[in-house]
Copies of this chain bind each other. A is one copy, B any other.
Amino acid sequence: MTNQPAERPFAGTIDRLRGVGLRPTRQRLALARLLLDGGDRHVSAEALHQEAQEAGFKISLATIYNTLHQFTQAGLLREVVVEPGRSYFDTNVSDHHHFFHADTGSLQDIPGDQVAMNLLPAAPDGTEIDRVDVIVRLKKSD
């Protein structure tokens, strides 16, 4: 009972990275554990860097950025832009949208089934819809 291949593949993270064409290096594995093994999260590069340091991983900020982008490109993460000058990476890559708390600058998932659009415009000629982002901006109510 050392490995639980089906349950929660510990060493399976390696295969997961390999599966998307990324070498399972020490740093990528560390970040994959932090990001991909837990629940849904929204992290900034800076916050993840700090978290990794505190968890005892030695990893440079440049690698954080590289990895975040590689994971995003590989479909393991999703980038969310809601504020000028800061990017969030969302570990939830399923169909869903976001609340944005203007006062705290934080994001919160809205399950896909809680937003429904009954009318969408056709994409202009020569283009096709890549993704539809819905951001519900919140302010404190008094």
Of the A-B pairs whose beta carbons lie under 8 Å apart in the complex, a sample of 15, sorted by A's number, is: A79-B84, A81-B82, A81-B83, A99-B121, A99-B123, A114-B121, A115-B117, A115-B121, A116-B118, A117-B117, A121-B136, A128-B138, A128-B141, A132-B136, A133-B133
A interface, CB within 8 angstroms of B: 79, 81-87, 99, 101-102, 108, 110-111, 114-121, 123-124, 126-141
| Copies of this subunit | 2
10 other contacts beyond A110-B121, A115-B117, A117-B118, with CB at 8 A cut-off?
A81-B82, A81-B83, A114-B121, A118-B118, A121-B136, A124-B138, A126-B140, A126-B141, A133-B137, A134-B135
A86 to chain B, nearest CB (A): 7
